[in-house]
Every structure is written in C-alpha cells, then in structure tokens.
Chains A and B, each alone.
Chain A
Amino acid sequence: MFLSLSARKSRVGRPSLADLYSSHASSVMRWATRLLGDSQDAADVTQEVFIIAERRLDAFDGIGASDATWLFRITENVVRNRRRSWRRRASVIDEAPEQRDSATSAPAPDEALHARRSARLVAQVLEQLSQTDRALLVLFELEGLPGERVAEMLQLSPSVIWVRLHRARARFAEKLKVFAPEEVP
C-alpha cells in the first residue's frame, strides 16, 4: 500500500510530513551521519526517521518539544536500533559494519578518509556516553549549533548547558582514552 503523502493535509498547528521533510531532512541526514560515523547508511536512517514521524504525527502535538527536538530523538533511537542489529548480525556472521564499509568503499582522498575515520571513532565513543552527553556533543561540537539552540532542542536550561557541555567533553575524553588509547587522530 502506498500512501500519498502529498495529499495529506496539515492540521491546524501541526506540520504535514512534507513540511517536516523539507524543513528538517538535511538536519536529520547530518545527525544520522554524525551518530553513525558514516554517511553510507544515513540516507536509510533518514527515511526511517520520517516514516516513523509520519506514523506518529497524529500523536505529536508539538507542545513542549520542537519539531527538531522530536526528530532528533527519533534519529537517536533509529541509530541505536540499527547499531544493535549490526552487533547481533556481527555476532552471527562475524562481520562488523566497519569492516564491511571499509571493504566496499572506494579509496578516498586523504583528508576525507581522515574525516571518515575520525567520525567513525567519535560515533563509537559517543555510543558509550549517556543520551544527553551524546546529544550535547553532536549538536554543539559537530553541528556547531549555538548553546541557546542546543538548550532549546534538548529542553535544558540555558544556564546549565555549558556546565553539562564541559562535563560531557571530559567524559568523552576519558572514554576515548579507554576506547582508543593508541589511535592518533
């Protein structure tokens, strides 16, 4: 069954899926890339995020959380589920997604390769952090959003966002020492 999304009318105060997609698809694609550490599956994640959003659009009232906040949470969940299924598959067929990526990817220029490796390592260490720490570092350090916007998206008080950010940074550095003690970025 195919839904005609374009025919879907937006209700009062509630965006249609087409509106959401045109406004946030690029952001979701970036978040997925940051959280996955690779852009290869980011397109699939983006589609999955908006399919879920479409299903929950009626339940989402937009009160207490902005569209971006809502979509960011869905993206986080989709990425986490995808990583979980990767781990299960890897345990069965002994094929980690990283190995699969590196085996099938075409050689990249040095800088792009360095960025991809760094992004992958960042994503792996971010997985070890709490949801808030991960979101803070992705939105502030990788997305480059201003603190006020990050606070709004994560529904945190602007006064505490900087303290939380510093703590998240410290925790990331500690996890990095444990996770990749020898690797030099």
Chain B
Amino acid sequence: MKSGPWKEEATSPSEARAAALFEAAARIDVPPPPAFEKLASVPRVKTPRVVVKTLVVMLSAGVLWGLWWSSSPDVVPAVPFVRPVAAVVVEPPRVIEVVETPPSKPQPPAPVPRRVSRASREVQVVIAEAAPKPSTLGEEAALISAALQALRQANEPTRALAVLGDYHARFPDGVLRDEALLAQAQTERALRHPAAALALLDIVGPSANENVAGELDVTRGELLAELNRCQEAEAAFTRALATSLRGALAERASWGRASCASQRSSPDAQRLLREFLGEFPDGVHAGEAADVLSTVQLRAPTP
C-alpha cells in the first residue's frame, strides 16, 4: 500500500481542507541557511558542563542529607510539623489523669534533640521544657499484664515472678510500682509463700494509691488469716470495707472479716455472718458462711 497526494486521497471535506492547507503551506518561501562562518562566530561558553556537574553533585548531597535528616528518629520534625505536635504534647494533665498519681520523684530532664535545625530550634526548646518525660506507662502496663496473664491464665507463677522481676529492674520508680508489687504478692501467695507476700504488701503499704488500697488491704487480711493472725486480719478487712469496695472484692472483705471473727469466737461473729449472708446471699462463700453461722449459733449460749 502506498499513498499519493493527500488532496486526491482526501476522504472527507475536513481532510480536503487540510490537504489544501498543506499544499499552500508547502509553498512558503524558505530562505537559505546562514553561512557556516556565521555559526562559527557564535560565542560559546565552554564551562556549563562543569557547572552543571557541580550543581548536580550539590543537589544530590542536599537531597541525601535531607533524607538522612528526616529519617533520623531522634530529630523533632521541622516547624510546620512541630506546631501541632507541640499542641498535643502540652497536655500532661491527660497522662496524669490516667495514672492518677503524679510522679513521686523528680524526673530527669528530657533528652534534647541531637540535631536541631536553626529554624525549629526555638520551638523544640519549648517542647523540651514543656514535655514530660516520655511516658513508660504502656510498657509498664504491658509487663504487669503479661505477669498477671502468666499467673491467672497460664497458671505459671514462676514465669509471672520472672516478668515482675524484669519490671522492677527496668522501672525501679515506675508509675505502676504499687500494682506490680501487688501482682508479685499474689504470685507469692499462689506459690504458697504467704509471709513473702505479706512482706511485699508491707512495702506498698503507706504509699498505696487509691486504686490498689482496697485490694491491698483485702489481700493483706487474707494473708494474715492464712498466717493465723486473725485479729490483724480482721482489722485489715474492716479498713478495706471502710472504703468504697464493690463486687467480688467487697465480698472477699466481708467474708474474711466474718470468718476471722468466728475463728476468734468474737461476739460480733454471728452479726457479721448474718450481714455477709444478707449482702451476698449467692456469693461464693455463702454456703460456707451459712454452715459457720449455724455452728456459731449452736456454740452461743442460749439467752
């Protein structure tokens, strides 16, 4: 297949028009090219290649440096990105609300960024001063959670103790120190070491926060009862019940107090057992409490 002049092969009016246009355009007068000598006289700069190479090297170095800068983990982002971060960081009350205990010991100053650009230096200094120490709450909670999981679900108190030992090594002044000690006491108790458990609770004692204070007293009372120190146990249960205990913890405290009172043949035993049964008629220890109550009633002198 070959092609002839467009004008003869045009298949539509628009093509015919285009062909005519080309035919007219082809007749444009084309002047002769300039003389070669004229081209030779055009000044040329010999250096652009060197300049271009230098620029390319400088640009490449700049790009690489920028990439390295932005990928560095300890560098605070540049100003446009820092501003919102600063706004978020300057909300320490939110973290404190979660923990509900201010740091008991002075925190070491936050690490200053290693490389700080001149433009963002001012903002970053503000952040370094305003921001609290990077929170370890998540890591602490994860360790304690892992320990409790090993103790309660996997029934591996030894592994739980190892995890808690790791916690104390990493966070000697951790925010969740009391919770860790309590978990450790529960683990020791599971290992049938009530004395060790009680010693751990005594460490927590005075500084216990409200979250754990009730559970601490209940556990302490149970441990004292196991060690046949019923009078102290009863005091611990009474102290626990004075707080706003609820649910299983309240049941444990109420039952512990009534049980200890009956063991000591306290005159209040009958009343405490009735109170327990009235409050937790379907509780875990309800049947046992009914038996103890009937025994106490038999022992009691007839009025």
Contact = CB atoms under 8 A, between A and B. Distances in A.
Contacts of A22: 36
Nearest to A140: B3
Given A2-B43, A4-B40, A5-B40, A185 B29 contact: no
Nearest to B47: A1
Given A22-B36, A121-B21, A1 B45 contact: yes
B180 to A, nearest CB: 70
Contacts of B27: 111, 115
A47 interface: yes
A166 B18 CA distance: 13
Nearest to A146: B2
Nearest to B22: A141
Interface string B169-184: 0000000000000000
Interface in A137-154: 137, 140-142, 144, 147
B31 interface: yes
A111 B27 CA distance: 9
Contact of A39 (B3, B31, B38): B31
A135 B20 CA distance: 19
B39 interface: yes
Interface in A10-32: 18, 21-22, 25-26, 28-30
Given A26-B33, A43-B33, A163-B1, A173 B42 contact: no
Contacts of A30: 30
Contact of A176 (B14, B24, B34): B14
Given A26-B32, A43-B31, A142 B2 contact: no
Query: What bracket does the count of chain B residues touching chain A fall in?
Result: 20 to 34
Nearest to B16: A173
Contact of B33 (A18, A29, A141): A29
Given A1-B44, A21-B39, A173 B26 contact: no
Nearest to A1: B46
B69 to A, nearest CB: 34
Interface in A36-90: 37, 39, 42-43, 46-47, 50-51
B6 interface: yes
A142 B6 CA distance: 11
Nearest to B14: A173
B21 A112 contact: no
Contact of A42 (B21, B31, B39): B31
A174 B2 CA distance: 22
A142 B21 CA distance: 10
B28 interface: yes
B12 interface: yes
Contact of A162 (B3, B24, B43): B3
Interface of A: 1-6, 18, 21-22, 25-26, 28-30, 33-34, 37, 39, 42-43, 46-47, 50-51, 111-112, 114-116, 118-119, 121-123, 137, 140-142, 144, 147, 162-163, 165-166, 169-170, 172-174, 176-177, 184-185
Q: 6 shortest A-B CB distances, which residue pairs?
A: A118-B24, A25-B33, A119-B25, A29-B33, A185-B21, A118-B25
27 contacts: A1-B45, A1-B46, A2-B44, A5-B36, A5-B39, A21-B36, A21-B39, A22-B36, A25-B34, A26-B32, A30-B30, A46-B33, A51-B44, A111-B27, A116-B28, A118-B21, A119-B24, A119-B25, A121-B21, A123-B25, A140-B3, A162-B1, A174-B14, A176-B17, A176-B21, A185-B20, A185-B24
